[in-house]
């Protein structure tokens, strides 16, 4: 397709904010024609691609907003290095049902036992399940609360924190044993 119809279609797809449609429609149309698929099957595939792409962008946005210090998943965690850590329990936590039940998780243990990696993995899993997550340190949280109080915006900050489904708060110090709190809003 060339000329005015192509320009008009591109304009409409941009206006409707359908970037995957815009990027993939010609290639997919040729592919569906070669496979002998009708227009409904073509549209179904195109809509599916748009939805998959949109969900991926939403996950990436939630991860960016969470402000994780590193992007670590539980897939990259070496459970064999810390045999006392209950792998099944951690993987069960990754299902995020505890967040829906508004329960809290506290990670206890000496430095180097994977508490932060597990917390990041649980936060990433929550982002992938469509939940809002925020990562901070205890020191940064205290500083932010004090600044908000001094600037008379404490109530706004409290509302902002309350709107997050999962708050991960790392300890301010590295004293053994360290405590990491993964908190759910009540």
Number of helices (H), then strands (E), belonging to the chain: the values are 8, 4
For 85-115, letters b (16+ CB in 10 Å) and e give beeeebeebbebebbeeeeebebebeeebbb
Sheet holding 166-170, edge to edge: 105-109, 178-184, 166-170, 133-137
Q: Which CATH number fits domain 74-184: 3.40.50.300, 3.40.50.11810, 1.20.58.340, 3.30.750.24?
A: 3.40.50.300
pLDDT band at 113 (very low <50, low <70, confident <90, very high): confident
Q: Lowest-pLDDT range, 6-20, 46-60, 90-104, 120-134?
A: 6-20
CB 32 within 8 A of CB 42: yes
Instruction: Supply 175's token pair.
Output: 């004293």
Look at residue 172 in the predicted model and tell me its pLDDT. 60
Q: Please name the residues in contact with 157: beta carbons below 8 A apart, sequence gap of 6 or more.
A: 144, 145, 148
Q: Lowest-pLDDT range, 89-93, 104-108, 160-164, 165-169?
A: 104-108
Look at residue 108 in the predicted model and tell me its pLDDT. 83
Instruction: Supply 178's token pair.
Output: 């360290």
Q: Which residue has the tokens 């320009």?
A: 7
Look at residue 149 in the predicted model and tell me its pLDDT. 93
Task: Select from 123, 149, 150 the least CA-distant residue to 136.
Answer: 123
> Is a pLDDT exceeding 50 seen at residue 77?
yes
Instruction: Supply 64's token pair.
Output: 């960016």
SS3 180: strand
Q: What percent of the chain has pLDDT over 70?
A: 91
SS3 136: strand
For 137-163, letters b (16+ CB in 10 Å) and e give eeeebeeeeeebeeeeeeeebeeebee
What tens digit of pLDDT does each residue of 10-56 get? 898 899 999 998 999 999 999 999 999 998 999 999 999 999 999 99
Instruction: Supply 46's token pair.
Output: 């195109």
pLDDT band at 127 (very low <50, low <70, confident <90, very high): very high
CATH 3.40.50.300-classified regions of the chain: 74-184
């Amino acid at each position: 397709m060339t000329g005015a119809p192509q320009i008009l279609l591109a304009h409409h797809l941009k206006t409707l904010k359908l970037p995957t449609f815009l990027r993939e429609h010609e290639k997919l149309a040729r592919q569906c024609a070669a496979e002998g698929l009708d227009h409904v099957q073509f549209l179904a595939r195109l809509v599916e691609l748009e939805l998959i792409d949109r969900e991926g962008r939403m996950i990436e946005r939630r991860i960016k907003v969470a402000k994780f210090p590193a992007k670590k998943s539980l897939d990259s965690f070496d459970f064999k290095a810390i045999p006392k850590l209950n792998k099944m329990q951690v993987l069960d936590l990754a299902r995020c049902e505890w967040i829906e039940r508004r329960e809290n998780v506290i990670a206890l243990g000496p430095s180097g036992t994977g508490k932060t990696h597990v917390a990041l993995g649980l936060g990433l899993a929550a982002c992938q399940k469509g939940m809002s997550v925020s990562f901070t340190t205890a020191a940064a949280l205290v500083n932010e609360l004090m600044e908000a109080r001094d600037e008379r915006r404490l109530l706004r900050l409290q509302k902002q924190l309350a709107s997050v489904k999962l708050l991960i708060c790392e300890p301010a110090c590295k004293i053994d044993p360290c405590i990491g709190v993964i908190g759910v809003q009540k």
